[in-house]
Structure 1
């Protein structure tokens, strides 16, 4: 009897060991397959560009670790749901860089980052952040960009990094418009950015503005109208028709541009919960002042009276024009540039903000401060 018990115990233990070994092996195979799939995504997307040595350069992990002092926290420029960004220095190029180290737990998938590299590697414009290179192996994904010494626009407007002069602010809006004109009209394809906001507008050493972060961008033919995509963007910057249909377009990018223009003029965020209801959302609040003939009253109080009244009026009206609730009433980015340079009369907008009806949103808003990618939504709730 004792021998039988011992035999059964050994048999059970052996069977359990086999089961555990099988489970571990299966998990390893699954991870290996996922890794192979990720590499396949990069190999497929970048075969043409990198095979012909066109576009960003492929770095080694050792090069980037050395450039950032092994990703030392002292070199960390920022952190988000995607991972962290570090400052580095490349001796062979004699230049500073910004290295985005994508977190393995990032909610933004490998295909979105591959899309970012694929799209931005095709772009060449002075007002777009330049992608220098990338690394993807051994579970690591690193994107290497030109270093922007003055950081993002939101740190200056909302976090007190510096008080931007009016001249600088107006120039930033013109730079952003120039970047959008290139994306929408001047390339072989139209690029829909889909996440234009102050966090994604970077400033170089001379405070020239450059648009970055193309993780949600999409390429479309110039002849196409609205583009069926996942709902994407940041609450406060998303055009109302996108919440209804999920369709992105040039006009939805222009809407986001308009919100940013108003933020620059007013020095406050698109949504400010600390204000009373009538002032909490930027666009309706500014539109009310416009209707009352008090456009200059919305100017950022931090600038005092140190702004050009003609330019301020122009910027506010152009911002409202771009953020019109109806996408059919918004200007093209080319019309925006003409207005900002006073080459065309400003539009006469309704004295009260139009209220349009839309279908119910295709998905509820997600209560998160980071990008969320699901089957039908990609939203960011601003901090």
Structure 2
């Protein structure tokens, strides 16, 4: 693994002792969060004279090691103001540690759903633009197309000035621009995963755009993509907002915590582009560049059907191998536990996806 990490440019190799000292020996009071791979700790590096976030991969976590190796190989080569910067790494004492720039304002979901602070409408609209800018870079502006495959509110971090930066590239994959998609292990998070991914296992720019659409709706509405505590008709955010759109009551979905302090034209625009990007039919989703043009009011608002299309699958029951691992979602505070992967799935090549109203 050391050989793989050294191929990256930019991140610096740091010693275990230095990182242990910086985090007060990984003290519980320095823990910023916990994921399926292990914990993330705040540390202070004297050499940089700044705080950092240290991701400590649990010993024996094969999935965590694989994801972190993928993350290092991809993110160490990317340079964009709206992507989390990987500062360094350490692989000693059977420990793997990744060091990132410290994000003082934490993750977007902690503000939207956990009451860390009330994000003003101006900040929310800026965060959407930051996320869109990051995705445009990943999809179109780098030497290869980068499919993130796990865009969600908990993977969007906020710096001191509430600039948004996309993190967690453990599930990311590289594809050629002309190809633009990849059939691989099914991976993502329930509520943010595009419907076609579930049946085909195929990731694409369009599936990232679906996730972007869901996050856009969360930002406007202040509600999770799936909320089991909400009334049944409102439990799935995109379906509920689409119903309100179809009946001309779109503003009823706006986050009540904003107390009507928002730009009505901007918030309608955000919700409509969110619905467009989260369209069940991937052929009808706009590219991220097209979405940016709409958000900048450089293109007209799309007109959607009054009712959301419902994906209907026609395929034999999939045969999931014994080696498959499926992690079902948790609706508690630990959003990382809702990530799931299926290591192998076999289904008929004639499996089809139709849409009905």
TM over 0.5: yes
Q: Detail structure 1 runs of 4+ shifted over 6 Å in the superposition.
A: none
Deviation at 1:277, TM superposition (A): 1.6
* Equivalent residues of 1:133, 1:144 under 8 A apart: yes
Change (3 A) 1:119 1:345: same
Taking structure 1 as reference, are residues 359 and 106 closer, same or farther at Cα in structure 2, changes over 3 Å only? farther
Structure 2 residue 197 is matched with structure 1 residue 229 = no
Question: Whose radius of gyration is greater, 1 or 2?
Answer: 1
Question: What's the CA shift string for 1:11-35, capped at 9, x where partnerless?
Answer: xxxxxxxxxxxxxxxxxxxxxxxxx
For these two proteins, the number of residue pairs brought into alignment is: 332
Which residue of structure 2 aligns with residue 46 of structure 1? 5
Aligned pairs for 1:76-91 within 5 A: 76-91=31-46
Cα 1:320–1:365, aligned 2, differ >3 Å: closer, same or farther?
A: farther
Inter-partner Cα distance in structure 2 for 1:373 and 1:138 = 29
Residue of structure 1 in register with 2:344 after alignment: 376
Query: Relative to structure 2, which stretch is displaced further, 183-192 or 133-142?
Result: 133-142
Matches within 5 A, 1:50-199: 54-106=9-61, 108-199=63-154
| Alpha-carbon distance between aligned partners in 2 of 1:321 and 1:146, rounded to the nearest angstrom | 33
Give me the TM-score of the superposition, normalised by structure 2. 0.90
CA displacement 1:26-57 (0-9 Å, x = unmatched): xxxxxxxxxxxxx3xx41x33533xxxx2200
CA shift at 1:373, angstroms?
Answer: 4.3
Query: CA, structure 1 residues 219+359, in 2 after alignment: closer, same or farther (shift >3 Å)?
Result: farther
In 1, the alpha carbon distance for the partners of 2:60 and 2:340 equals: 12
User: In the alignment, is the contact (CA less than 8 A) between 2:186 and 2:342 conserved in 1?
Assistant: no
Q: 2:295 aligns with which of 321, 340, 344?
A: 340
Correspondent of 1:367 among 328, 331, 345: 328
Q: Helix, strand or coil: the match of 1:150?
A: coil
CA RMSD, 1 decimal: 1.6
- The one of 261, 264, 267 equivalent to 1:312 is 267
TM-score w.r.t. the length of structure 1 is 0.84
Contact 2:129 2:292 in 1 (8 A): yes
More helix, by proportion: 1
> Partner of 2:178: helix, strand, or coil?
coil
1:356 alignment partner, SS class? strand
Given candidates 194, 217, 235, the residue that maps to 1:280 is: 235
Gaps of 5+ in 2: 331-336, 346-357
